[in-house]
Chains A and B, each alone.
Chain A
Amino acid sequence: MFGKIFIGSLLWMSLLGAAQAESLLINGAGATFPYPIYSKWFDEYSKLHPDVHFNYQSIGSGGGIRQTSEGIVDFGATDGPMSDEQLQKAKVKILHFPTVLGAVVPTYNVPEVQSDLTFTPQALADIFLGKITKWNDPEIAKANPGGKLPDKPIIVAHRSDGSGTTYVWVDFLSKVSPEWKEKVGVGTAVKWPVGLGGKGNEGVTGLVKQTPYSIGYVELIYAEQNKLPFGKVQNASGTAVKANLESVTAAAASAKMPEDFRVSITNPPGKEAYPIASFTWLLIPAQISDPAKGKAIVDFLHWMLQDGQKMAPPLSYAPLPKEVVTMEEKAIGQIKH
């Protein structure tokens, strides 16, 4: 009896698996920053094109850069654009395609605090440098008059993997804190002065959620989906801004988009701009050998620039500015398949 059920289930599963046998699998890996919107896109796209599956693994931008450079995945994703050196060393020529705009927010777990905290750039840099160690430190308190900050040690959480989210965060910190720029610098994986390491945006969110008195940096949607509070950050013009669609779009407004789409929009001028925002990119090889895959990828990119953009706001990602979309539509022609 059990034998029959067992064999039956096995057969059934292999049939289910075999039913997918005609479909095309395209493998990608990279940033966890845009994972929620990418997984939504790939899911929706496969509903429209049931024979094409984009299998995306969120292993961090560092992983995306590496695996794409080695040619081990068909495409990658990163929120820290590849450096000239990385592009040169890559085994294939790689093109950057921005997909959405997102924000990196300082999320925290302080039971005593009910309203949103405001952080000055200096406070954030010093917390992550390990110079500010208690929640009731004057640098934090002065931006939050009336907030009852507890006398507890701050537990810092950062990424343990190579991360574009890290890149955006430390890019910002380097711009606002010369000490950070000198001591730690910018990259997808840096030598953190203090803190616990979490794997992926998911890991850091999990750490902050489970560790009282901790602070971490994550992409906006992760804080929202997990109902974690996140602070306002003081921008270059002195206003305390909370990350949302408007402030992120404002951050991109002042940026001049270069031809290869690699640009940083942290700490921009602009009263409404959120200071820690970023484009996130898909890394596509300029030459795709498999024609079926190439056609699918190009088709997906066009879809992403039109229908895909509409799905961004519900997940708290800002859609690309119109000029960028136009530039990209033309640039897709560079992909040879």
Chain B
Amino acid sequence: MLIVALSVLLITAIIALELYLHSHLSIEKFGWAFLSRSTWDPVMEEFGALPFLYGTLVTSAIALLIAIPVGLGVAIFLSELAPRRLSDPITFLVELLAAIPSVIYGLIGIFVLVPWMRNVLEPILGTTLGFLPIFQGAPYGVGMLTAGIVLAIMVVPFIVSVSREILLAVPRSQREAILSLGATRWEMVWIAVLPYARSGILGSIFLALARALGETMAVTMVIGNRPEVRASLFEPGYTMASVIANEFTEATSDLYLSALIEIGLVLFAVTIVVNALARLFIYSLSTKRGAVRT
């Protein structure tokens, strides 16, 4: 039994090790510069991970920018406003969003979201906010903004689920204290409840971020697959997970494969850090204040 439990630790370690071992060709050749070079040229065997880091960060940032207010809003509604009878079923429904497989999000992304982005949203943003470099260029439909939006939908349930639990765990005394001082409902939430739940909510955001960073299929299907750093969100981009999915079976040289595995290693490392931070924030809340389960 103990052995089985320890095997979990072992597996985690082996994964890290294997990834590192198989990227050593690329690590030797490019060193740390791998992370700052933006050339991805399989013909000349020049590889740099910057476009993928950029694409991953940008799409995740867009996702969080949308998902945090929406997710928090829903969590507040479900914990403060909705009666318990409504809140539970609605929570279940929101959590269903997290259960939908990524490839299905991709399916809807290609056939519903992309045309809508191309014909409706991107032109509108282009004409109204086109002076901003992030909204310039031709509306392809596929691109970083579209990928960011799909990711946002996919990570909202994580923020809602964890934040709701955390908000519910905030002691009544906090709320009653500020209400007795004459605050409105919203002010109570904003001034008394949210700050108290701060670290847990931060934890939920990190969880959402970790999920967004590693998301592969839905992003691959709508991002346009272009390894380049561009300012405009309308432009196609590429993420770390997508390039591995697209090019892994075809890496025609050992260095190419090694470079892809190194990208996997970077992704892996980043995800570990973010996940660890997330758990730290949530653990700290649960040990200090009890009652929160994730």
Contacts and interface: CB of A to CB of B under 8 A. Distances in A.
Contact of A191 (B43, B114, B140): B43
A222 to B, nearest CB: 18
A191 B140 CA distance: 20
B138 A155 contact: yes
A89 B250 CA distance: 15
A60 B250 contact: yes
Contacts of A190: 41-43
A259 B246 CA distance: 34
Nearest to B224: A196
Contacts of B226: 160, 192, 195-197
Interface in B51-110: none
B286 interface: no
B137 to A, nearest CB: 8
B141 A210 contact: yes
Residue of A29, A63, A189, A199 with highest tally of chain B CB at under 10 A: A189
A55 interface: no
Interface in A154-187: 155, 160-162, 185-187
Interface residues of B, number: 26
B252 A191 contact: no
Contacts of A29: 249
B188 to A, nearest CB: 49
Contacts of A50: none
B43 A189 contact: yes
Contact of B252 (A162, A192, A199): A162
Nearest to A67: B249
Nearest to B225: A197
B140 A196 contact: yes
Contact of A65 (B44, B238, B252): B252
B150 to A, nearest CB: 16
Interface string B111-132: 0001100100000000000000
Contacts of B19: none
Contacts of B114: 210
Range of interface residues on A (Cβ < 8 Å) = 20 to 34
B225 A199 contact: yes
Nearest to A133: B138
Contacts of A191: 39-41, 43-44
A69 B251 CA distance: 11
A185 B43 contact: yes
A211 B252 contact: no
Contacts of B118: 211
Contacts of A226: none
Tell me whether chain B's interface is mostly helix, strand or loop, or mixed: loop
A15 to B, nearest CB: 29
A259 to B, nearest CB: 24
A153 interface: yes
A63 B250 contact: yes
A160 B52 CA distance: 14
B236 interface: yes
Contacts of A62: 42, 247, 250-252
Contacts of A60: 250
B47 to A, nearest CB: 11
B147 interface: no
Nearest to B253: A89
A71 to B, nearest CB: 14
Interface string A101-133: 000000000000000000000000000000000
A19 B118 CA distance: 48
A270 to B, nearest CB: 29
Interface string A52-73: 0000000110110111010000
Nearest to B243: A160
A86 interface: yes
Interface in A27-67: 29, 59-60, 62-63, 65-67
B258 to A, nearest CB: 13
A197 B115 contact: no
A269 interface: no
A205 interface: no
A147 B253 CA distance: 45
Given A59-B249, A65-B252, A211 B42 contact: no
Contacts of A86: 252
Contacts of B236: 196-197
Interface string B210-254: 000000000000001110000000001010000000110111110
Interface string A74-90: 00000000000010010
B145 interface: no
Interface of A: 29, 59-60, 62-63, 65-67, 69, 86, 89, 153, 155, 160-162, 185-192, 195-199, 207, 210-211
26 contacts: A29-B249, A62-B42, A62-B250, A62-B252, A63-B249, A63-B250, A65-B250, A65-B252, A66-B252, A66-B257, A67-B249, A155-B140, A160-B225, A187-B42, A187-B43, A189-B43, A189-B250, A190-B43, A191-B41, A196-B236, A197-B225, A199-B225, A199-B246, A207-B142, A210-B115, A211-B141
- The 7 A-B residue pairs whose C-beta atoms are closest, nearest first, are A197-B225, A187-B43, A62-B250, A63-B250, A160-B225, A162-B250, A189-B42
Interface of B: 39-44, 114-115, 118, 138, 140-142, 224-226, 236, 238, 246-247, 249-253, 257
